[in-house]
Amino acid sequence: MKKNYLQHINNPDDLKNLNVDQLKDLAQELREFIIDVVSVKKGHLGSSLGVIELTIALHYVFDTPRDLLVWDVGHQAYPHKILTGRRELFHTNRQLNGISGFPSRKESKYDAFGVGHASTSISAALGMAIASRLSGDDNKQHIAVIGDASIAGGMAFEGLNHAGVAKSNILIVLNDNEMGIDPNVGALKQYLTSVKSDQKMQKNIFEALNFSYNGPIDGHDLPTLIKTLKDLKQQKGPKFLHVITKKGKGLKQAEQNQVTYHAPGKFDKQTGDLLEFEDLSEPPKFQDVFGKTLVELAKKNEKIIGITAAMPTGTSIKYMLEEIPDRAFDVGIAEQHAVTMAAGLATEGYIPFCAIYSTFLQRAYDQIIHDIALQNLPVIFCLDRAGLVGDDGPTHHGVFDMAFLRLIPNMVISAPMNEIELRNIMFTAQEQLSHPIAIRYPRGKGFYKDWQKPFSIIEIGKGRMIRDGKDMAVLSIGTIGETVCTVLDDLKSNSIAHFDMRFVKPLDKKLLNYISGKFAKILIIEEGVLQGGFGSAILEYYQEQGLTQLKIKRLGIPDEFIEQGSVSELLALLGLDFKGIKKEIKDFLND
């Protein structure tokens, strides 16, 4: 008879009523439940399937939420969410008004720390451990669960270095599956492999850093996990547990094709077969236009280098890694290193295309200012996932870049309106640039099937008029300009002009002067934060010109963190979709 333990687990205390054999059955149920829901609702699959036994064991042995459990990145926390009171909400995972795809402090007391970006867990858990020690609570455990790719991030190393001497109760669980989203890279990965194969190593790196090292153990073996964690629970000070797991465990396709099944979209839960395919009759993704254009350019220009920080598939740098492996680098989850390495390459006359998701570039802010801009090094930043990204939510939306880059001297900031413009600005940047440049483009599908047109130069700092008008000007930056075009086509009004400004910096002052001379009303639209972004730049310019009589309205992302939802839902909520923009344009025109 099929048992059903899972439906009785409403919090980790309920686990404690089960024996180890029952926990094994529970693991199977949990696996089926996650596969059931994610196959329909989508989300991160492989990493969660890999930590089911580990999650059960952690909640079984430790006294969460009193013992504090921090998940690194948090994309693997589905079993944790389900066991900590969110089973019945799990079908809303990553959806508008649903539960977050990542641990979130506001969602549950079991989510000790909000995550989404990698390599934070050790620092956060150490902070908690020090706080407990200072408060005289010496019996509490503070646990960071971190993957083998995330532990290579700089911050994780900084945390390890401190934790080894901080005299606090911290347990670092390394979940080693030899994978990031793509296969893990780097010397540390090679080292971890050698630790696994030579368990008699005299003293490993973690012991050398003052941790009591335990493992490696099989992360799918519940009895061993429970016994080991029980022993560790009794120990004070810094502890390290090396756990070996398989990403995608329990679903054949997910085990075999770990990159695709990191977040596979909809799939058949029985067979594991994918149900969503790229529609080849549709325009390609921006990422593919970027990746293929980069190869095209790099074949002609041998100075071009491609760089990704652990996102070769996501950014499509994979095409260059496949075709020109000598000049393409995956540096792992190391955005800061990627940026300064690009700076070094640029000093020697190379032309680095550094492709980093907008949200992850936040990690490398000082490197952009100190290592790149201050020395005016012509590094080409390709800011993927700029704008709203959808289901990943506030940790991942790429909405700050225009604002945080704009204040840096020497930076050129461009936002192509479509993929043809993207190709041309990539071409321009490698041909003739003497400054660092950021090129921002969104996640997903472009607009044109015939994007592979001959290259043409885009004049840096020059915008363009898309349509002329009499009474009002709409100024857009980036792909939202395509929505403006559709709205204006629909309105069929000859009153409204549209300008694709192309650059946030330098601003096209000549064009702005023309616009202010001709139009009394100016509507500025951007898919980025209103505070300090593109619209702010224009406001500042007109204010400096003393043009206070202009009627200016701005549309963009308000001063709040935007939750998760599909991109179209979020754009609609923010009034940045076709309907919202049309209404604003009409209202402003008639105002």
Ligand X SMILES: Cc1ncc(C[n+]2csc(CCOP(=O)(O)OP(=O)(O)O)c2C)c(N)n1
Q: What residues are annotated to the active site?
A: 247, 335, 363
Amino acid at 17: N
Q: Using CB under 6 A as the criterion, which residues of the chain lie in contact with ligand X when the complex forms?
A: 47, 50, 73, 75-76, 117-118, 147-150, 175, 177, 179-181, 247, 310-311, 333, 335, 360, 363
Minimum distance of ligand DXP from residue 561's CB (angstroms): 16
- The tokens for 589 are 């025109």
- Tell me: does residue 314 bind ligand DXP (CB under 6 A): yes
Residue from 26, 179, 417, 480 that binds Mg ion (CB under 5 A)? 179
- Distance, in Å, from the CA atom of 500 to the CA atom of 478, rounded to the nearest integer, reads 8
Q: Rounded to the nearest whole angstrom, what is the least distance from the CB of residue 530 to ligand DXP in the complex?
A: 24
The distance of Cα 455 from the centroid of its chain, to the nearest Å, equals 30
**Which residue has 């709409």 as its token pair?**
474
Q: Which residues pair with 100 in a beta bridge?
A: none
Nearer to ligand X, 74 or 416 (CB): 74
164 binds ligand DXP (CB under 6 A): no
131 annotated to a ligand binding site:
no
Name the strand (E) or helix (H) holding 176.
strand 170-176
Q: Kindly state the smallest distance separating residue 147's Cβ from Mg ion, in Å.
A: 4
Three-class DSSP category at 71: strand
* Residue 577 known to bind ligand: no
Q: Which residue has the tokens 């344009």?
A: 585
Do residues 72 and 177 lie in contact, with contact meaning Cβ atoms separated by under 8 Å?
no
Site for ligand DXP in 41-100 (CB under 6 A): 44, 73, 75
Q: Which residues pair with 213 in a beta bridge?
A: 240
| Beta carbon nearer to Mg ion, 150 or 414 | 150
Which tokens in the block code for residue 239? 């502890």
Single out the segment in contact with ligand DXP by CB under 6 A; choices: 162-170, 206-214, 384-392, 453-461: 384-392
In whole angstroms, the minimum distance from the beta carbon of 528 to ligand DXP comes to 17
Closest approach of ligand DXP to the CB of residue 3, in Å: 32
Closest CA to 504 of 536, 472, 482, 479: 536
Instruction: For the segment 528-567, give every residue that binds ligand DXP (CB under 6 A).
Output: none
**Contact residue for ligand DXP among 31, 220, 292, 443 (CB under 6 A):** 443
Q: Which of 389, 405, 538, 570 binds ligand DXP (CB under 6 A)?
A: 389
Binding Mg ion (rule: CB under 5 A), the pick from 46, 101, 114, 147 is 147
Identify whether the C-beta of residue 243 lies closer than 8 Å to the C-beta of residue 217.
yes
Tokens of 141: 């455990």
117 in a known ligand binding site: yes
CA atoms within 13 A on the CB side of 405: 35
- Choose between 75 and 94: whose C-beta lies nearer to ligand X: 75
443 contact, one of Mg ion, ligand X, ligand DXP, none, CB 5-8 Å limit per kind: ligand DXP
> Contact, 321 vs 331, CB < 8 A?
no
Q: How far is the CB of 358 from ligand X (least distance, A)?
A: 12
Structure tokens at 456: 């043409």
Complex with Mg ion: residue 156 or 475, whichever CB lies closer: 156
CA–CA dist 274, 267 (Å, integer): 4
Task: Enumerate residues 6+ apart whose C-beta is below 8 A from 29.
Answer: 3, 4, 5, 6
Give the annotated binding-site residues for thiamine diphosphate: 75, 116-118, 149-150, 177, 335
Residues contributing to the site for ligand DXP (CB under 6 A): 44, 73, 75, 181, 263, 314, 385, 389, 392, 443
